[in-house]
Structure formats: structure tokens, C-alpha cells
């Protein structure tokens, strides 16, 4: 985010309750399936919150393929230590399924760890099935 959105400071972390991290759009990705979330009452996803500037939002839309229709923005409630906040995130416009590359999954796990996600959550990310493409 620091590289893609240099004018958007980190605001904190939280949990997206009732959602699960998954992957899809394998045919859209260069090295495997792309990250997304789907509703799942039994799961939760660790998230980092940012105050995204208008210019950075446009850049992020282009980077993540929102302007190509790969992702759509969805408003969600995030549980933080200070209570619930409303945030938006990108949700993949494709079917769930497929495996991410080991490299891509490593980037996600490393980012979660750097943001302070619990060790068991990071370990579960690192144990997920993946392809060796992009490793």
C-alpha cells in the first residue's frame, strides 16, 4: 500500500467478521487465483484499514483491475478495538476456486504478519494450498 497509495495513511487493523479469505478468477491472474472474500458466518479475516485519498483510490482501482471489472467495491463493517467502522474493500467478480501462487500467498501472509495479525492466523495463511507458479 505504501507504494501504490503513498497519500493514504494506515488507520488501524481489525477483523472482517462473517467473511472468509478465498481465491478465484484463476484465469484472470497471471500467477494463479486472486484474493477475495466471501460471506461465511463461521469465519473472519484480519484486515488493515487505510484513509484512502481520492487520487490513491483511482490508482488502486486501476492497479487492482476494478476499472476492468475484475473487482467491485463493497462496503463492510470491520470490528476494531474502538468498535465497528464502515470500510470498503474489493470483492472479485468471478467464481471462487483455484489456487494462488506461492509467491502471492507469501505476500499476503507477510503483510498480515507485518500488520500485527495473530501468529496462528499468519500460520494458517502460510499453510494454505498454493501453486509453485511465481515462487
Complete domains list, the chain, with CATH:
10-126 (3.10.490.10)
Q: 128: exposed, middle or buried (C-beta count within 10 Å: 0-12, 13-18, 19+)?
A: middle
| 64 vs 28: CA distance, rounded Å | 11
Q: Degrees (nearest 5) of the Cα angle 24, 51, 42?
A: 40
| 10 vs 32: CA distance, rounded Å | 28
Lookup: cell for 55: 487520487
Phi-psi group of 71: left, alpha or beta (phi > 0 → left; psi -120 to 50 → alpha; rest → beta): beta
- Greater pLDDT, 12 or 62: 12
- Greater pLDDT, 58 or 112: 112
pTM of this prediction exceeds 0.85 = yes
Q: Degrees (nearest 5) of the Cα angle 43, 52, 96?
A: 35
Q: What is the mean pLDDT of residues 4-19?
A: 86
Question: What are the backbone dihedrals phi and psi of residue 66, each rounded to the nearest 5 degrees, phi first?
Answer: -65, -35
Q: What is the mean pLDDT of residues 104-133?
A: 94
- Greater pLDDT, 72 or 19: 19
DSSP state of 32: S
- Please give the pLDDT value at position 8: 72
DSSP state of 101: B
| 65 vs 24: CA distance, rounded Å | 14
Q: What is the mean pLDDT of residues 46-52?
A: 91
- Please give the pLDDT value at position 53: 82
Amino acid at each position: 500500500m505504501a507504494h501504490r497509495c503513498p497519500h493514504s495513511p494506515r488507520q488501524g487493523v481489525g477483523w472482517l467478521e462473517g467473511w472468509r479469505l478465498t481465491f478465484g478468477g484463476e484465469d484472470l491472474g497471471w500467477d494463479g487465483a486472486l484474493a477475495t472474500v466471501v460471506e461465511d458466518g463461521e469465519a473472519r479475516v484480519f484486515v488493515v484499514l487505510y484513509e484512502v485519498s481520492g487520487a490513491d483510490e483511482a490508482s488502486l482501482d486501476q492497479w487492482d483491475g476494478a476499472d476492468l471489472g475484475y473487482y467491485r467495491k463493497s462496503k463492510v463493517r470491520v470490528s476494531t478495538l474502538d468498535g465497528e467502522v464502515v470500510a470498503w474493500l474489493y470483492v472479485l467478480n468471478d467464481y471462487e476456486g483455484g489456487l494462488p501462487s506461492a509467491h502471492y500467498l507469501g505476500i499476503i501472509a507477510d503483510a498480515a504478519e507485518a500488520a500485527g495479525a495473530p501468529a496462528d492466523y499468519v500460520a494458517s495463511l502460510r499453510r494454505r494450498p498454493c501453486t509453485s507458479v511465481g515462487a
